[in-house]
Structure 1
Amino acid sequence: MDRTTLLAQRLVTQRLTAAPADPVRVVGEALAVQSQDAPMARWSIGMRSAADDGVVSRAVDEGRLVRTHVLRPTWHYVLPEDLRWLLALSAARIERSMGARHRQLRITEAVLERAFAVLRETLTAQGPLTRRQLHPLLPTTGFPEQGQVVGHLLLVAELRELIVSGPSADGQHTYVLMDDLIPTVPERTREDLVRDLTARFFAGHGPASVKELTRWAAVTQAEVRSALGDLGLSSATVDGVELWWDPTAVAEGTRPRRAHLLPTFDEATLTYLAPSWERVPGHPKGDRPPTYARVGGGVVICDLAEVGLWQRRATGATTRVSLDLSPSVTARQRKAIAAEAQRLADFEGRPLELAG
C-alpha cells in the first residue's frame, strides 16, 4: 500500500467517497463523531449521508443520536446503544484527567452529590432543561466564575451516567436523565470493551495506527495490541508506520469527489497523525502545525492533498463560505471546491455566498 492508496481508502472507509448512508448508520460506523462545534459536526455527518441539516438535527432531537462527553473530555455524537459501554470504558480515566482542574474549581464529592440531587429532582419534575436554566439551581463552590463550575458539574454528571443531552430548545441543547433515554447494558470486562472498541475503530477509521486509536480514546497501546490478536484485521506499513483495517468493512468508492470541506474536528482530519494529508506549496499555513481552536471552518482537501482553509458563517439569509487557498490550486480544482461549498449551503438550506 502506498500513500495515495492509503488516503483514498480512508475517504472510502469514512463514507466521504462511498455510497451515502443514513445519519444514524454514519455515526454508528464511526462509533463516535467529535462534536463540540455542533453545526460543523452535523455537516460532517451530512457529507457522509444524503441528509440535510434538518434531518440530522431531528435524529438528535428524537434521541436516535446522542451528543455527550465520552472517550475524551469533549463532546461526541454516539448511538444510544453504544453510550453506556463507551462510558464504562472511558469515563473513569476522563474524570481522573480533570482532577487538578476540579481542585481549582473547588469541586468536591460533596458538591457533586448536591448537584446530582438537584439534577435528579429538577429533571424528573420539569423534563428537558438547558444549561442556562440549570445554572442558577446548581451549587456554588466559591470559585469566582460559576459558569465554569456548572460546565464541569454537568460534565461529571454525564460521565457518571446521570444525564445526557436531550432535544434542542430555542437553538440550545437540553439535558435529560440518562435512564429515561438510554438503555441499560450488562456489565462487561474491560478486555471485552477494549476488543469491541478496537474492532469498531479500525472498521470505521482504517487504515489507522495503534497510536491513533490510543489518542482517540482512553485506552493504552498495550490494551489495543492485546485485542488485535483475534480480530482478523489486515495490516500494512506506510512511511514506516504500521496501519490496521478491517478487510470485511472495506467499501467501494462510488462517489468520486475531488474536493472536501472538512471541519477542524472532522474524523478524517482529527484522527490521523501520520501519514496524513500533505500540504501543497503555497498553503496559507505554510509549515506551521495545525491548530484545533478553529471553529466554523477547517481544511480544504482536493486531489488527496490539503490545499487551503475555509470558514463558514451563517448570517440567517445566506451561508457565507470564505476560502483561503494556495495559489497552486488550478481552475478545475477551484471549481470542485466551489461545488463543495454549494453542497454545504444546500445542506444548511441557504443560498451560498462564496468569497475567496
Structure 2
Amino acid sequence: MTWDQILRWRIERQFLGAERAPDAVAAARRLSGVHAQLAASAVTALDLRVAGGTSAESVDEELWRRRRLVKTWAARGTLHLLPAADLPTWVAAMSTRGRETTGSWLRYHGVTAEQMADIIAAVPDVLGAEPLTREELAGAIIEATGHEDLREPLTQGFGAVLKPLAFRGLLCSGPPRGRNVTFVAPRRWLEGWVEVATEPAIDTLALAYLGTYGPSTADEFSRWFDLKPALAKRSFARLAGQLVEVEGGALPAELAGEVARERPTTVHLLPAFDPYTVGSLRQLDRVVSGPHKAKVSRPQGWISPVLVVDGRIDGVWDSGTVTPFVPLGRSVRSALAKGFPEVSVAD
C-alpha cells in the first residue's frame, strides 16, 4: 500500500473519482461535513461531488425548506454543513469540549463563568423554531439573564460566545433574513431528534473520518475534530477490532482492500477550504508536492484553492491562474484545458 495509492483512494472516497454522491446530503455525510465558512466554496465543493451538480439554490432548499442539511459550528469550531439526521451524533461528541469554560477563554471573549452558565441555561427558553437574528437573540438572552453587559460579546466578532451553544445542540443557523444571519433551536427546527450516547457518537465519527481521510492516528483525529486527545485514543482502542494498521495510521478494515485498486488519472481544481485539503492539513508533507505546504495552509487559517492530480496537491490557483508546484505533464495540461478552459497555467 503506497501513498500514491492512498491518495487516489481518498479521491474516490470523497466522490471526486469515478463515483458521485446521489445528493448533497450523502456528500456531506461521506465528507464528515462540508466546511462552510465561505458559502460559495461549500457550494462548489458539493457541486464537484454530486451527480448532476448542485447550486446555491439547491443547497438552500436542503437547508431551509427540506431541512435535510443543517448549518452549524462543528469540527474545530468552524461552520459546516452537516446532514441534519447526523446532528445528534455530532452534538454528543462536541458537547465534551471544555475549552469554552476555561478562565482564559472566558476572559478573552469578555464573559464570566457565571454569565456563560446563565447564557447556556437561558437559550432553551428563548430560542425555538422561529428564527431570531443575532441582535434579537442577544436581546432575548439579556432580558432572561439580566446581564446587560453581554450585548457586546453576543453581537460582536465571529460568534465565539455562541459556539458553546452549538456544541450542546442548543443553536444552529436558520434561514437568512436579508443580510442578517438567524438562529434556531435544532431540537425544534429539525424532526426526529434522538439523543445519542457520547462514546458511540465519537466512535461513529472516528470511523467515518478514517473512511474518508485515512489512514490516520488518534492524535490526528483529535486535532481534526478538536476533540480531547484522551477521548480520541479511547475511541481508537474501542474500534481496534474494526481497524487495520498501515503506514500513516489506521484504516477501516472493510475498506482497506480497496486502496490498491487501479484508478484512472484525475485532475481537479478544488475551492478554498475544500474538505479534501482541510482533511489533509496534518499530512501535508505527504500530500503536497515539494516544499510548498505554506502556500496551501496560509496565515489566519486560510486554506488555498488547489490543483490536485491523482490526490496529490500539485499547485494552487486563484483569479483564473494555476501556479504549479511541479512541471505539469501534457495529459494534466490537456485535462485542465478541457475541464477548465477559462483557467491558464503560470509558467
Q: Which category of TM-score, normalised to the shorter sequence, fits these structures?
A: 0.7 to 0.9
Deviations along 1:50-78, one digit per CA (max 9) or x if unpaired, are 22223233212232111111232222221
In structure 2, the CA distance between the partners of 1:116 and 1:202, relative to structure 1 (3 Å rule), is closer
CA distance in 2, matches of 1:211, 1:122: 38
Aligned residues: 330
Q: CA deviation at 1:332?
A: 4.0
CA distance in 2, matches of 1:43, 1:98: 37
Partner of 1:347: none
CA RMSD of aligned residues (A): 3.6
Match of 1:64 among 60, 64, 68: 68
Match of 1:86 among 82, 85, 90: 90
In structure 2, the CA distance between the partners of 1:225 and 1:300, relative to structure 1 (3 Å rule), is same
Q: CA deviation at 1:46?
A: 1.9
Q: CA deviation at 1:210?
A: 3.0
In structure 2, the CA distance between the partners of 1:58 and 1:250, relative to structure 1 (3 Å rule), is farther
1:33 aligns with 2:44: no
In structure 2, the CA distance between the partners of 1:94 and 1:322, relative to structure 1 (3 Å rule), is farther
SS of alignment partner, residue 97 of structure 2: helix
Q: CA deviation at 1:229?
A: 2.2
**Residues 91 and 159 in structure 1, CA contact (< 8 A), matched pair in contact too:** yes
1:276 aligns with 2:280: no
Deviations along 1:269-306, one digit per CA (max 9) or x if unpaired, are 222323632325xx8x4876732646584221124432
Partner of 1:314: none
Within 5 A, what are the aligned runs for 1:175-324? 175-182=183-190, 183-188=192-197, 190-217=198-225, 218-220=227-229, 221-231=232-242, 233-237=243-247, 241-248=248-255, 256=264, 258-272=266-280, 273-274=282-283, 276-280=286-290, 285=292, 290-291=297-298, 293=300, 297-311=304-318, 321-324=320-323
Q: CA deviation at 1:257?
A: 5.3
CA distance in 2, matches of 1:100, 1:187: 30
TM-score normalised by length of structure 1: 0.77
Unmatched runs of 5 consecutive residues or more in structure 1 = 312-319, 343-351
Partner of 1:128: 131
Q: What fraction of aligned residue pairs are identical, expressed as a percent? A: 22
Match of 1:151 among 149, 159, 164: 159
Partner of 1:345: none
Partner of 2:145: none
1:11 aligns with 2:11: yes
Partner of 1:329: 328
Q: CA deviation at 1:118?
A: 7.2
CA distance in 1, matches of 2:39, 2:6: 29
Deviations along 1:31-57, one digit per CA (max 9) or x if unpaired, are 323322222122222211122223233
CA distance in 2, matches of 1:97, 1:335: 53
**Residues 143 and 149 in structure 1, CA contact (< 8 A), matched pair in contact too:** no
CA distance in 2, matches of 1:10, 1:191: 26
**Residues 323 and 355 in structure 1, CA contact (< 8 A), matched pair in contact too:** yes
In structure 2, the CA distance between the partners of 1:333 and 1:292, relative to structure 1 (3 Å rule), is farther
User: Which letter does structure 1 place at the counterpart of 2:18?
Assistant: A
Partner of 1:170: 178
SS of alignment partner, residue 314 of structure 2: strand
